[in-house]
Amino acid sequence: MDYKKYKAFTPIDLPDRIWPSKSIVKAPKWCSVDLRDGNQALPVPMSVDEKIEMFELLLSLGFKEIEVGFPSASETEFIFLRRLIEEKRIPGDVTVQILTQSRAHLIERSFEAIKGAEKAIIHFYNSTSTVQRDVVFNKSREEIITIAVEGAKLIKEISARHEGTDIRYEYSPESFTGTELDFARDICNAVIDVIDPDEENKLIINLPATVEMSMPNIYADQIEWMCRNINRREHLLISLHTHNDRGTGAAASELGLLAGADRVEGTLFGNGERTGNVDLITLAMNLYSQGIDPELDFSNINHLIEVYEKTTKMIVPPRHPYAGELVYTAFSGSHQDAIKKGLDRFKKSGSKIWDLPYLPIEPSDLEREYEAIIRINSQSGKGGVAFILETQYGLKLPKAMHPEFSGIIQKMTDETGRELKGEEIYKTFMSEYLEDGHELKLHRYEINAILNDDVKGDKHNSVEIAAYLEKDNDMLELRGHGNGPIDAFFHALKNSGQVKEDLKLSSYSEHALSEGADSKAVAYIQVVSNEGKSFFGVGIDPSINGASLKALLCALNRMENRT
Ligand code: KIV
Ligand code: ZN
Over range 335-356, report the average pLDDT. 91
Verify whether ligand 1 is closer than 6 Å to residue 171 (CB atom). Answer: no
Q: Indicate which CATH number applies to the domain containing 449.
A: 3.30.160.270
Ligand lying closest to the C-alpha of residue 277 = 2
Q: Is 308 in the pocket of ligand 1 (CB under 6 A)?
A: no
In this prediction, residue 391 has a pLDDT band, given cuts at 50, 70 and 90, of confident
For 429, list phi and psi in degrees, rounded to 5: -60, -45
In sequence order, which ranges of 19-100 are alpha helices (DSSP H)? 39-40, 48-61, 75-86
Is the predicted pLDDT of residue 129 greater than 70, yes or no? Answer: yes
Q: What is the pLDDT of residue 379?
A: 65
How far is 439 from 558, CA to CA, in rounded Å?
9
Asked if pLDDT for residue 373 goes beyond 60, the answer is no
Q: Is position 19 within any domain?
A: no
% residues pLDDT > 70 (the chain): 96
User: What pLDDT is attached to residue 377?
Assistant: 64
Report the C-alpha gap between 168 and 170 in whole angstroms: 7
CA–CA distance, 546 with 373 (Å, rounded to integer): 34
Q: Answer yes or no: is 96 within a domain.
A: yes
Residue 377 shares a structural domain with residue 397? yes
Atom of ligand 1 nearest to the CA of 37: 8
Q: For ligand 1, say whether the CB of 249 is within 6 Å of any of its atoms.
A: no
Q: Kindly identify the ligand whose nearest atom is closest to the C-alpha of 204.
A: 1
Residue 252 is assigned to a structural domain of this protein: yes
Residue of the nearest CA to atom 1 in ligand 1?
Answer: 210
CB under 8 A, 24+ apart: contacts of 48-56: 48/76, 48/79, 48/80, 48/83, 50/310, 50/311, 51/76, 51/80, 51/311, 52/80, 52/83, 52/84, 52/89, 53/307, 53/310, 53/311, 54/307, 54/308, 54/311, 54/312, 55/84, 55/89, 56/89
Q: Are the C-beta atoms of 60 and 85 separated by less than 8 Å?
A: no
Distance, in Å, from the CA atom of 124 to the CA atom of 158, rounded to the nearest integer, reads 14
Whether residue 165 is found in the same domain as residue 227: yes
In the predicted model, what is the mean pLDDT of residues 56-77?
97
Whether 415 and 458 map to the same domain: the answer is no
Find the 99 Cα to ligand 2 centroid distance in Å.
11
433, 460, 489: which is the final residue of a domain?
433
Same domain membership, residue 545 and residue 397: no
Of the listed ranges 48-57, 180-189, 363-372, 520-529, the least confidently predicted one is 363-372
Q: By mean pLDDT, which of 172-186, 350-364, 548-562 is the weakest?
A: 548-562
- Residue at 13 is within a domain: no
Q: How confident is the model over 396-412, as a mean pLDDT?
A: 92
Q: 447 - beta bridge partners?
A: 465
Q: Is residue 56 domain-shared with residue 196, that is, in the same domain?
A: yes
Question: Residue 124 C-alpha to ligand 1 middle, in angstroms?
Answer: 10
Structure confidence at residue 500 as a pLDDT band (50, 70, 90): confident
226 with 84, same domain?
A: yes
Per-residue pLDDT at 101 exceeds 60: yes
Instruction: Name the residue with higher pLDDT: 386 or 230.
Output: 230
With respect to residue 85, please indicate whether it lies within any of the assigned structural domains. Answer: yes
Together in a domain, 85 and 162? yes
Q: Judge whether residue 380 has pLDDT over 70.
A: no
Q: How far is CA 190 from CA 121, 521, 560, in A?
A: 19, 79, 91
Residues 300-337 as b or e (16 or more Cβ within 10 Å = b): ebeebbebbeebbebebeeebbbbeeebbbbbebebbb
Domain count for the chain: 3
Ligand 1: which of 99, 110, 205, 211 to mutate, most ligand atoms within 8 Å of CB?
99
Q: Which of 77, 172, 271 to mutate to test the pocket of ligand 1 (most atoms within 8 A of CB)?
A: 172
- Name the residue of 37, 101, 245 to mutate for ligand 1: max ligand atoms within 8 A of Cβ: 37
One domain for residues 190 and 301 = yes
Are 130 and 232 part of one and the same domain? Answer: yes
Q: For 320-349, what is the mean pLDDT?
A: 89
End residue of a domain, out of 433, 459, 494: 433
Confidence band of 381 (pLDDT split at 50, 70, 90): low
Domain stop point among 394, 409, 433: 433
Same structural domain, 400 and 492: no
Q: Is the pLDDT of residue 372 over 50?
A: no
Q: What is the DSSP string of 427-477?
A: HHHIIIIISS--SEEEEEEEEEEEEEE-TTS-EEEEEEEEEEEEETTEEEE
pLDDT one-digit tens code per residue, 411-427: 888 888 887 888 899 99
pLDDT, tens digit, 9 for 90 and up, residues 443-478: 999 999 887 776 676 767 789 999 999 888 889 999
pLDDT, position 120: 98
- Provide the pLDDT confidence category of residue 518 given band limits of 50, 70 and 90: confident
Give a yes or no: residue 320 inside a domain: no
- Please indicate, yes or no, if residue 421 is contained in any of the structural domains: yes
Any atom of ligand 1 within 6 Å of the Cβ of 265: no
Helix (H, G, I), strand (E, B) or coil at 112: helix
User: How many A from CA of 483 to the centre of ligand 1?
Assistant: 82
With respect to residue 322, please indicate whether it lies within any of the assigned structural domains.
Answer: no
pLDDT, the chain, mean: 93
Residues 360 and 217 in one domain: no
Lowest mean pLDDT among 84-93, 178-187, 492-501: 492-501
Range of the domain at 365: 333-433
For ligand 1, what atom is nearest to the CA of residue 265? 7
Number of the ligand 1 atom closest to the C-alpha atom of 36: 8
Same-domain pairing of 374 and 445: no
123 close to ligand 1 (CB < 6 Angstrom): no
**CB proximity list for 344: less than 8 A, separation 6 or greater:** none
Q: What is the CATH number of the domain that holds 42?
A: 3.20.20.70
Q: 206 C-alpha vs ligand 1 centroid, how far in Å?
A: 9
**Mean pLDDT of the region 182-196:** 98
